[in-house]
Amino acid sequence: MAALDMTKLTIKSAHDLLAKKEIGAVELTEAFLDRITAVDSDVCAYLTVCAELALKQAGEAQKAIDAGSGGMLCGIPVSIKDNICIEGVRTTCASKMLENFIPPYTATAAGRVMDAGAVVLGKVNMDEFAMGGSTETSYYKKTKNPHDLSRVPGGSSGGSAASVAANLALGSLGSDTGGSIRQPAAFCGVVGLKPTYGLVSRYGLVAFASSLDQIGPVAKTVEDSAILLDVIGGKDQYDGTSIEVPETSYAASVNAGVKGLKIGIPRQYLASGLDEAVKSAVLNAVREYEALGAVAEEFDMPSLKHAVPAYYLISSAEASSNLSRYDGIKYGFRADGCESYGELVSKTRAQGFGREVKRRILLGTYALASGYYDAYYKKALQIRTLIRREFERAFEKYDVLISPTTPTTAYKIGENIQNPLTMYLADIYTVAVNIAGLPAISVPCGADENKLPIGLSVIGRPFGEADILKTAAALERALCG
């Protein structure tokens, strides 16, 4: 009998083995640390590996397991996106600006995961300040797609998705502002869940666009993502936008089935620009749902054609405001040889931010400027209202909506980085969810001729996580058995 490769387990299967004392938490953590040493020089998922902290947490988790008090995440090794603060652990947002930043506090979501006994293996790579869709804008390194090291893992949570897909963590926390969890999950063939805005605290998440950002789980299975969501969700006194919701078990919802479920498919998401292999996989998934007893039909959402420009105006305007704090005075990178305050701020921001971050700051500042506010930012907010209302009307008829997660599979590293417009348009299937504050999950639904993963998105009503989880899990079972 072959030796067990613990890095290939799921959160659920690892928990079961830990509970039965067939493996130990320290042993499991060491297996992942060894694999990171052996493999991550190729994948480049991690920016900071916390071996000492991880082994200490594993020892504490084992004590809880031995005492019979360990929950589903106790002893489970995870990674954390590098814009989610952990006290005493370097948090860079993949930017030169925060190269040596050590947070004095821990993000609520990360704290809840650690309080549940999870083991933090380290902080993983991302697009700088979460601005990008390929993890190529990181100041430090380019993360590779584990399915093909010549291709991008997606972004901005590329390190989270790659670490899970490459068996370098059993799960991860990422953030999603316009698809930054779901798109890399699709590219890397894992499950990524963007919760309803307000379900998961943003306290300790370094802000990109505050009205759009949301922390969520990346995992190997739908059930694993639900297990993580059970821990990180809920009201937080430190985040005024977090919302009190009835206590529920998301993990229990994955087995509910989809018989009688009404599924809507926006026609605008099956239009030109969609790769044929992706379209074929999505339509095959629709047939699987119908075979399981669901009812699916196409319908129109005309406002979706405005979602990408509205998203980039709103997110860039908020980024312009949020990133104004990086001035060389308070914390972070500080330029040398400056003789005035103006020169210090100018040089610090010019040297500390990368090209993509500067581009979005300039776009956002322009959109908010006197004389342009009504023409751009105000109009984008009006489109946001229009999109929300169209989703509300859709959910009067349908239980969930489905769409492709991405228009193509993972592309070659360097292929699109010089063409920002191409990169922005690739967000066509994800940004509307953030604009409307809805939950959505990306689940693998096939592969193209190069064996690159294809993702299907399931979108739900506000706080309809149980519906999207059961819908995604039904497809997962149908395709994987």
Give yes or no for residue 50 having a pLDDT over 50. yes
Give yes or no for residue 303 having a pLDDT over 90. yes
Q: In angstroms, rounded to a whole number, what is the distance separating the alpha carbons of residues 208 and 322?
A: 7
pLDDT digits (tens, 9 = 90+) for 161-177: 999 999 999 999 999 99
Residues 314, 409, 162, 150, CA torsion sign: negative
The pLDDT value recorded for residue 481 is: 67
Give yes or no for residue 323 having a pLDDT over 60. yes
Give yes or no for residue 1 having a pLDDT over 80. no
pLDDT digits (tens, 9 = 90+) for 93-112: 999 999 999 999 999 999 99
Quick one: average pLDDT of 180-188? 98
Q: Which amino acid is at 224?
A: D
Q: Is 81 assigned a catalytic role?
A: yes
Q: Is 442 assigned a catalytic role?
A: no
Give yes or no for residue 2 having a pLDDT over 80. no
pTM of the model: 0.97
Among 81, 123, 144, 470, which one carries the catalytic annotation?
A: 81
Give yes or no for residue 347 having a pLDDT over 50. yes
Closest CA to 181 of 172, 303, 72, 287: 172
Distances from the Cα of 388 to the Cα of 208, 241, 294, angstroms: 21, 18, 25
Grade residue 422 by pLDDT with cuts at 50, 70 and 90. Answer: confident
Closest CA to 225 of 433, 468, 43: 468
Residue 322 is encoded by which pair of tokens? 């949020």
Closest CA to 222 of 471, 469, 13, 479: 469
Q: Is 95 assigned a catalytic role?
A: no
Find how far residue 237's CA is from the centre of its chain.
Answer: 23
Among 79, 95, 134, 156, which one carries the catalytic annotation?
A: 156
pLDDT digits (tens, 9 = 90+) for 225-247: 999 999 999 999 999 999 998 88
- Which region among 150-164, 242-256, 391-405 has the lowest average model confidence (pLDDT)? 242-256
Among 95, 134, 172, 180, which one carries the catalytic annotation?
A: 180
Task: State what percent of residues in the chain have pLDDT above 70.
Answer: 99
Quick one: average pLDDT of 365-381? 93
The pLDDT value recorded for residue 193 is: 98
Quick one: average pLDDT of 170-198? 98
**Domain 7-254 sits in CATH 3.90.1300.10:** yes
Mean pLDDT score across all residues of the chain: 96
Q: In angstroms, rounded to a whole number, what is the distance separating the alpha carbons of residues 348 and 278?
A: 43
- Which region among 30-34, 303-307, 337-341, 370-374 has the lowest average model confidence (pLDDT)? 370-374
C-beta separation of 410 from 148 below 8 A: yes
Q: Which amino acid is at 107?
A: A
